[in-house]
Amino acid sequence: MAEFDPVAILRCLVDREVEFVVVGGVAARLRGAPLLTQDVDITPSLTRPNLERLVAALADLQAQLRTSDEPAGIPFPFDPLLIESANVWTLTTRSGDLDLAISPHGTGGFKDLIRAADRLVIALDPELVVNVASLADVIRSKEAAGRDKDRAALPLLRRTLEELDL
């Protein structure tokens, strides 16, 4: 299993000029919630040129499909139409797990999430800046998803949001 390196994954996407918003656990952590996660979740813009850039980045990352039966990954021929056709893609890459959340639960996808997203510096030397979903949107999505692990994280996320609002 590849060592988890979210900065390497996100840097690759930025280098390929992919338009996306970081969502999920990494977004929550970047916003200040002390949570742990072992995958990067992103919501990409669904324009055709952007999906083509995303496919190129996935090739750079040696992305493969990740399933419970095959956590090490299954080779898969990604293309823009295919990516758009599913709501979630769970992938493994040379830098750890990457999930494409095309339209996260309770949200309208990229166009919805980008409204409240901020560009945050997530690494230095060289600097890396990415769009990160608002904590309110992360909470909204986890509430709507309603999975046990999402529900378990909600009190901490809400506490963080309260502190940010003070």
Residues at the interface with other proteins (CB under 8 A): 3-7, 26, 29-38, 108, 112, 120-124, 132, 143, 155-156, 158-160, 163-164
* Smallest separation (angstroms) from other proteins to the CB of 158: 8
Nearer to other proteins, 65 or 158 (CB): 158
Which residue type sits at 36? L
Q: Which is nearer to other proteins, 51 or 139 (CB)?
A: 139
Query: Least CB distance from residue 36 to other proteins, whole Å?
Result: 6
Residue corresponding to tokens 């324009």: 47
Task: From 12, 81, 7, 84, select the one nearest 45 (Cα to Cα).
Answer: 84
76 φ/ψ angles, rounded to the nearest 5 degrees: -150, 135
Residue 52 or 143: the one with the smaller Cβ distance to other proteins is 143
Q: Which is nearer to other proteins, 74 or 152 (CB)?
A: 152
Angle between helices 135-145 and 148-165 (to 10 degrees): 160
Write the CB contacts of 124 (distance below 8 Å, at least 6 apart in sequence): none
Question: How far is 85 from 80, CA to CA, in rounded Å?
Answer: 9
CB of 51 to other proteins, least distance (A): 23
Whole-number minimum distance, CB 107 to other proteins, in Å? 8
148 three-state secondary structure: helix
Cβ partners under 8 Å of residue 85, min gap 6? none
| Minimum separation from the CB atom of position 30 to other proteins (A) | 5
Helix (H, G, I), strand (E, B) or coil at 28: helix
